[in-house]
Amino acid sequence: MENYHSDDYAAGCCACEDKTLEAATGLTCADKKNIFTRREQEVLGKIREASRLAGALKDEIRQTDERRREAALLELGHLRQIRGELEQERLAAAEERMRMLGHL
């Protein structure tokens, strides 16, 4: 990976205070921004599961009778609500990670 170095960033990898590679991990602070915390991983797993269920419901909606279709549409609406809540949690978890890294 090649780091972009401008005059603004001197010898560091970004504008933060962590200007060098971490000896223990070999990661720059830019690399650390791409590492998910356990909380983020859990939320992303829930988001993936909700997306998988929504996809299955959409298939069912296309292939089923009217009575089951209405129930599936209600369930899909509920999944969309859950997905919105999970997105808020994902953003909060990402902000928490950035705070732990000292970027906020």
Using the structure block, give the residue that is written with the tokens 């296309």.
62
The most distant pair of C-alpha atoms in the chain lies apart, rounded to whole Å, by: 65
Q: Are 15 and 8 in contact (CB under 8 A)?
A: yes
Residues in the chain: 104
Using the structure block, give the residue that is written with the tokens 């279709």.
69
pLDDT digits 0-9 by tens, 43-85: 999 999 999 999 999 999 999 888 899 999 999 999 999 999 9
- Quote the radius of gyration of the chain (alpha carbons, Å): 21
- Terminal C-alpha separation, the chain: 25
Question: What is this structure's pTM?
Answer: 0.65
- Residue 20 predicted with pLDDT over 80: no
* Amino acid present at 99: R
Per-residue model confidence (pLDDT) at position 104: 80
**Percent of the chain whose predicted confidence (pLDDT) is above 90:** 53
